[in-house]
A and B are shown apart, each in its own frame.
Chain A
């Protein structure tokens, strides 16, 4: 059987038997879809995001339907890495495919602390590190921080995660800055890159008479993400995971043709959980023949 190696330079590696997995933020903590999705069919599961401490997340409203998709702002709601390990560790240990935990790298300390907590857990096959994606949006840097401050901060977060994590490290790049960050991410120790995090948008929420800013999900994200992955593929030699707007096997093939070795299905899982399995089954033969 043809396999996909996401961390060829890592001492343990991260081998998938299928190039398809769910995207972070879309699959909960691994248990939520257990009655709807047979994970044996897919390459891995990606759970989280998790942070060092529990987070209640953003105040509602968090969800806004937009034409052809949805805008979602959760504010990294999660029970914290310790609770995740305590509540879900045993179940994840029985998962029949590799488990990748998405760590929300809001700061070097947070990334290092989470990765350190997860390092000793054998059931976790890989860490995917999320990065801040809004220069000026970080209190730590201040509202007028520039792009270089933002990039320096992102590199510091990756380095902190790399030092603390024993597992292969996948860095999920912000869509807008993926090409600016990809080389620094690899130099800082990323074994693979996910391209890219869902883009952000702002829309008017009429019932509460306010703007909501959040991540965008829908088929319209696909060409944006394929474009940036194609560019990143020309810049770095590490395995790339395509993510954004996939709703079919054909969508996934666009990423594979652009240079990805694996893909993550995001919002399509919410709309149609069976989609994840369909894409994985459709792509399995192609992955073998490639």
Chain B
């Protein structure tokens, strides 16, 4: 964990998001999908940013992308600007080495936190279940890896399946041997019920869900990012932000 000044190297629109490229060689090597940095973007509370692209081995210039909505303060950054970052922070997604069928589940606003998992590893089949309100908000599928199997759900039926993530999740979770989820936490109890029904006796961390409430310190000092779990409360910044879906209350 370091506090460093990163350089903004590039900015561009990318579908419903703005892609911000940051060069931070000192923290890049310890970044993994689901871990985050806290960025000083002018507000009193730093904003969590999740890497949307990670390369192995790390590039020498330590450049990684984050994707944010146009209303996010990071979208107003300009190339050449400096950003004070603290990180990498938290516990990211843990994909067992034995995983062969990886399921990613996201609502569009939370998709950036999962994009770093879409890089195809040899021998790994990955499917993405993506929820958007309508086709106009869809992330350009051509920007995703060609081997990624994409299932789109829209609320208005303008493309893909008309309905909810919950409609397609049972079949896909039967197929998967690991599931990584980033969506509105309000839907997590319903997803957990489905996992319990269709994957009886699933292993610890079979289904992992990301929760990122406002984080004050990012290091576990302030106890401000409480997440209720079975048996008590954990901190999103140090115990999470990725939790076992079945552990969440």
Q: Which residues of A contact B (CB under 8 A)?
A: 25-28, 32-33, 35-36, 56-65, 68-70, 72, 74, 77-78, 217-218, 267, 269-274
Contact B86 A273 (CB under 8 A): yes
Nearest opposing residue in chain A for B43, CB measure: A65
CB–CB B214/A63 < 8 A:
yes
CB nearest to A27 among chain B residues: B221
Question: 7 shortest A-B CB distances, which residue pairs?
Answer: A28-B221, A63-B224, A32-B221, A74-B223, A77-B223, A270-B217, A35-B1
6 other contacts beyond A35-B1, A59-B228, A77-B233, with CB at 8 A cut-off?
A60-B227, A62-B223, A72-B216, A72-B222, A217-B44, A273-B86
Over the window 216-240 of chain B, the binary record of Cβ atoms lying under 8 Å from chain A Cβ atoms (1 yes, 0 no) is 1111111111111000110000100
Say if the beta carbon of B15 comes within 8 Å of chain A. Answer: no
Write out the residue numbers on chain B whose beta carbons fall within 8 Å of the beta carbon of A271: 40, 44-46
Residue of B nearest to A65 (CB): B45
Supposing A70-B44, A70-B45, A271-B46 touch, asked if A62 and B221 sit within 8 A by C-beta, the answer is no
Query: Are B40 and A74 touching (Cβ within 8 A)?
Result: no
A-binding residues in B (CB < 8 A): 1-3, 40, 43-46, 84, 86, 213-228, 232-233, 238
Chain B contacts of A60 at CB under 8 A?
A: 213, 226-228, 233
- Collect the chain B residues with CB atoms within 8 Å of residue A217's CB: 44
Q: Which of A32, A69, A70, A78 contacts B219 (CB 8 A)?
A: A32
Q: Name the residue in B218, B222, B227, B232 with the highest tally of chain A Cβ atoms < 10 Å from its Cβ.
A: B222
Would you mind naming 13 contact pairs between A and B with Cβ atoms under 8 Å apart? A26-B222, A32-B221, A36-B86, A62-B225, A62-B226, A65-B43, A65-B44, A65-B45, A70-B45, A77-B233, A78-B223, A267-B216, A270-B217
Is the beta-carbon distance between A74 and B217 smaller than 8 angstroms? no
Residues of chain A with a CB closer than 8 A to B45's CB: 63, 65, 70, 271
Complex Cα–Cα for A60 and B227 (A): 7
Question: B233 contacts which chain A residues (CB < 8 A)?
Answer: 56-57, 60, 77
Q: Is the CB of B228 within 8 A of A270?
A: no
The one of B44, B221, B225 in contact with A33, judged by C-beta atoms closer than 8 angstroms, is B221
Known: A36-B2, A77-B226, A272-B84. Contact between A70 and B221, CB under 8 A?
no
B46: chain A residues at CB < 8 Å are 270-271
Q: Which of A36, A69, A74 contacts B44 (CB 8 A)?
A: A69
Assembled-state Cα–Cα distance A25/B223 (Å) = 9
Smallest Cβ-Cβ distance to A274: which chain B residue: B3
Closest A residue, CB atoms, query B218 = A270
Given A65-B44, A65-B45, check contact A36 B3 (CB 8 Å): yes
Q: Which of B1, B214, B215, B226 contacts A36 (CB 8 A)?
A: B1
Please report the C-alpha to C-alpha distance between residue A134 and residue B218 in the assembled complex, in whole angstroms.
29
B219 close to A68 (CB less than 8 A): no
How near does chain B come to A279, taking the closest CB pair, in angstroms?
A: 15
Q: Are B224 and A36 in contact (CB under 8 A)?
A: no
In the assembled complex, the Cα of A64 lies from the Cα of B215 at a distance in Å of 10
* Given A33-B221, A62-B225, A74-B223, A273:B216 Cβ within 8 A: no
Q: In the complex, what residues of A have CB within 8 A of residue B222's CB?
A: 25-26, 28, 72, 74, 270
Contact A28 B228 (CB under 8 A): no
Smallest Cβ distance from B134 to chain A, in angstroms?
A: 23
A269 to B46, CA, bound (A): 12
For residue A130, give the distance in angstroms from its CB to the closest CB of chain B: 15
Alpha-carbon gap, A69 to B216, bound state (A): 10
* Structural contact, B44 and A68, CB atoms closer than 8 A: yes
